[in-house]
Structure 1
Amino acid sequence: MKKNTKGAIALGAAALLLAGGAGTYAAWSDEATLDGGVVKSGHLRITEVDGGTWEWADGDDFNPSSDLIVPGDVVQYTAEYRLDVAGDNLVAKLAPNLGGVTGGLNDYLNVDATSNTDGITLDNITRADNAKTVSVTVSITFDPETSGEDGMDQSATLAGSTITLEQTAPASN
């Protein structure tokens, strides 16, 4: 065998031996405590202030226990809610939800909410709105496209409906 070949083999063997021992290298380390204090979270809460009132879309009184709606009718429930918003970068929206409503009429109802409270936008509630009272009107529309006998002599129990205050992503700057 040539001298160059023997040298290359010896060099390769030395490299393998050195590589095998590389995983056992020890290094010094130290640590200290991170005294960053306490981190606290905020919260979102909504509370109905008083029982609300029902009316037809034209402003006349609506009595859900005796008045009967037909396709195309709109009835409104208006109530005041107190906002409890704590969190520096918190943005929330307030929305009605008929998800818990039961009964055959539920399939024909559509819901929307508006507010007539100055300075409060239902889809942009922030810490600045903390402790404010917002008046919310929930409009329930009997789908005007309902036809045939669909929805006739049906009822919907609205006890499962909610007003939800839900965190949303903050607007990007």
Structure 2
Amino acid sequence: MKKITKGAIALGAAALLLAGGAGTMAAWSDEASLGGGEVTAGHLRITEAAAGAWTWADGETFDPATDLIVPGDVVEYTASYDLDVAGTNLVATLTPTLGGIDETGLGQYLTVDAQSDTTGITLGNITEANDGDTVEVTTTITFDSDTMDQDGMDLTANLAGSTITLEQTAPASN
């Protein structure tokens, strides 16, 4: 009995040693440094180069403070903006946003769009190649001509909160 007991204890101790030591076994490894140094993030900025002007679609001056619009009217805001774009794979889109507009007020009857005739610039594909460029953007606001009955009458929209946004859309493919 004593030999069996001693054998069982020895076998148990051996099993514990093997199990405990299994997690501490070291595997071969080596390392080398990565080549390189500091990495710097790019940026995306837009500033108004010159104050813009409001016009009716026919080019006549439009004053948002005093002129009244009706269904079918189109007004435009044209301004120049300086682009500051840095990032090797940066792609951005330039879009206008009507701010300060209550979607239950006149805003629900207005649509906004932007276009530019500036050579070499596509509003949906601005890249580092456009860094330092000045782009002229015409933001068009249209009062929906399908507005019926008395919808939209005497409602207001505060265009003073409107913005033009330069936003990264995707990295350029290499």
Instruction: Give the match's secondary structure for 2:51.
Output: coil
Query: What is the number of equivalent residue pairs in this alignment?
Result: 164
Structure 2, unmatched stretches of 5+, are 1-13
* 1:1-173 map, 5 Å: 18=18, 21-27=21-27, 34=34, 36-102=36-102, 104-170=105-171, 172=173
- Tell me the CA shift for residue 21 of structure 1: 3.6
Q: Which amino acid aligns with 1:51?
A: A
- 8 Å contact from structure 2 (residues 99, 160) kept in 1: no
1:9 aligns with none
TM-score, length-scaled by structure 2: 0.81
- Tell me the CA shift for residue 58 of structure 1: 1.6
Per-residue CA shift, 1:80-126, capped at 9, x if unaligned?
A: 00000011111111000114434821121100000011111000111
CA distance in structure 2 between the aligned counterparts of 1:100 and 1:65, rounded to whole angstroms: 15
- Tell me the CA shift for residue 40 of structure 1: 0.2
Moved over 3 A (4+): 14-21, 27-35, 170-173
- Tell me the CA shift for residue 26 of structure 1: 2.9
Percent identity (aligned): 69
CA distance in structure 2 between the aligned counterparts of 1:98 and 1:84, rounded to whole angstroms: 23
Aligned-residue RMSD, C-alpha: 2.8
TM-score, length-scaled by structure 1: 0.82
Q: Which of 27-36 and 125-134 deviates more?
A: 27-36
- 8 Å contact from structure 1 (residues 85, 127) kept in 2: yes
Instruction: Give the match's secondary structure for 1:84.
Output: strand
- Change in Cα spacing, 1:171 to 1:26, as seen in structure 2 (3 Å) is closer
Instruction: Give the match's secondary structure for 1:50.
Output: strand
Q: Which of 63-72 and 18-27 deviates more?
A: 18-27
- Change in Cα spacing, 1:42 to 1:62, as seen in structure 2 (3 Å) is same
Q: Which amino acid aligns with 1:89?
A: N
- Tell me the CA shift for residue 47 of structure 1: 0.2
2:10 aligns with none
Q: Which amino acid aligns with 1:77?
A: Y
- 8 Å contact from structure 1 (residues 102, 158) kept in 2: no
